[in-house]
Amino acid sequence: MAERIDLPPELAGEREALWRQHREGLKGNSTCYEFTAEDRKEIDRLRAMSPLECDREIGGAADRLGVTVGTLRMVLRDLRRNNGAGGEKQAAGKPGAGQMLKFPEIEPWPDPVDGTLLLDEIATTVQRFIVTRDGVPEAVALWVLHTHAIAAAFITPRLAITSPERRCGKTTLLILLGTLVARVLSTANIKAAALFRAIAMWRPTLLIDEADTFLVGDEELRGIVNAGHCRANSTVVRTVELAEGYDVRGFDVFAALAIAAIGKLQATIEDRSIKVALYRRRPDEHVERLRLDRLDEFAPLSRRCARWAIDHVRQLSEADPAMPSELHDRATDNWRALLAIADLVGGDWPQRARDAAKRLLADGFDDIESRREMLLADLKAVFDCEPSGVLFTDEILSKLHAMEERPWSEYGKRAKPLASQQLAALLRPLGVRPGSVRRGEKTNKGYRCEDLGDSFARYLG
């Protein structure tokens, strides 16, 4: 049976007539498209693709459907604007229904683009307006180009933009990113239902500001943000209302995303992110003010990004960059697509990108998992100096507190020395617990090196 997809009147008329010229099955002057099951399967396949993938496939799809490429593009555009990924009902044109989202397509630069100069210019542009630390401009520049070449990526790292306080440049950076990335959708508040539908409908690059005000406690929203990190598990399943009743539909939420917040983001989000920490500028630090009425000056950069991606997306999809040994498994996943871009661009970017990866990983070594790994490394150093392999808890704490440039002497929210209960809590998820231990003639609460050996091998190897 043909599936009816209702269109608001303003989208009918000439567009429906064009479809009627090339397809059978439309009835009279009704404001709808009708698709056979085979038609719908082909159209859904195209809508699930990124813009670059769709461009490569649309010619063959138009031949199979028996329509022109122009008509097929028109139909895909209408469906995105009206129905979402699963054919849900829409209150189009009703008072209070909001404004239709628009995504102006970026016109690719007419000539081939030098990737080295392009990344240099993006990094320099970031430094014009944002006070940054080493590695940040390079990471941002690579991530911007990644949004245009996301069709080649299996994993798309979140860009986590954080600061300890307000007025550190997070919003400025997001506005600047909005002029550079592919198919941008910026928001300072979004619900889970809107997020997965927006991604499935438009494949945008999402820029989310003020996440600390609405993301905390919203497990469904956080789950969608996490699911969109990897193509292999980027489908979320929801029940949706169709014209003939309810059905279970899958929504592909794989999409590039930058998210800004004061303080820390949830550990599961940070683990999937390249973390960019911003700080308030000092009086002696000077940057330009980003003029919101002059954002068009960055359009050539985004056009050059689009052209570079079109020319190199196939090479990127086959790339296998060498990864720095300092990166742990998740950091390796997060940086792979960016290092592939750096290697393909060439020049000094392969080294700059790897230096940035190592620097930002070290700067962001403050989440609970990273603290646990840091603790294991420090405990191993302490046990290496004790031939008996037995240490009492008070001895361990004393040695940890004495370590300079480590957090153990001012740990936690109250900045007090790490306590025995906190030490035990960090080690408990590893299956390591304190007990009564004996060394020589003395017995007390403590730990044996042999009990930590498995954790040392697994997490420090």
Domain boundaries, the chain: 3-82, 115-363, 368-460
Contact status, residue 263 vs residue 164, Cβ threshold 8 Å: yes
Please list the rounded mean pLDDT of every run of 10 residues in the chain (461 residues).
42 45 36 63 80 82 80 75 44 59 84 97 97 94 97 96 89 96 90 89 91 82 93 91 81 95 86 91 89 95 96 94 87 96 97 94 60 89 94 95 86 80 91 93 94 89 63
Close Cβ partners of 5 (under 8 Å, ≥ 6 residues apart): 32, 33, 34, 35, 79, 82, 83, 87
**C-alpha to C-alpha distance for 281 and 167, rounded to whole angstroms:** 9
Q: What is the pLDDT of residue 82?
A: 53
Q: What is the pLDDT of residue 7?
A: 42
Task: For helices 192-202 and 219-227, give the axis angle rounded to 10 degrees.
Answer: 20
Give φ, ψ of 242 to 5 degrees.
-110, 175
Domain covering 115-363: architecture: 3-Layer(aba) Sandwich (3.40)
Specify the amino acid at residue 285.
E
Q: What is the pLDDT of residue 97?
A: 62
Does the CA dihedral 220-221-226-231 come out positive or negative? positive
Tokens 């209070």 — which residue?
96
Contact status, residue 180 vs residue 292, Cβ threshold 8 Å: no
**C-alpha to C-alpha distance for 179 and 177, rounded to whole angstroms:** 5
Instruction: Give me the residues paired with residue 4 across strands.
Output: 34
Cα angle, residue 396 at apex, residues 392 and 401 outer, rounded to 5°: 150
**C-alpha to C-alpha distance for 298 and 276, rounded to whole angstroms:** 22
Contact status, residue 9 vs residue 46, Cβ threshold 8 Å: no
Q: 19 is written with which tokens?
A: 């479809």
**C-alpha to C-alpha distance for 147 and 205, rounded to whole angstroms:** 7
**C-alpha to C-alpha distance for 56 and 317, rounded to whole angstroms:** 14
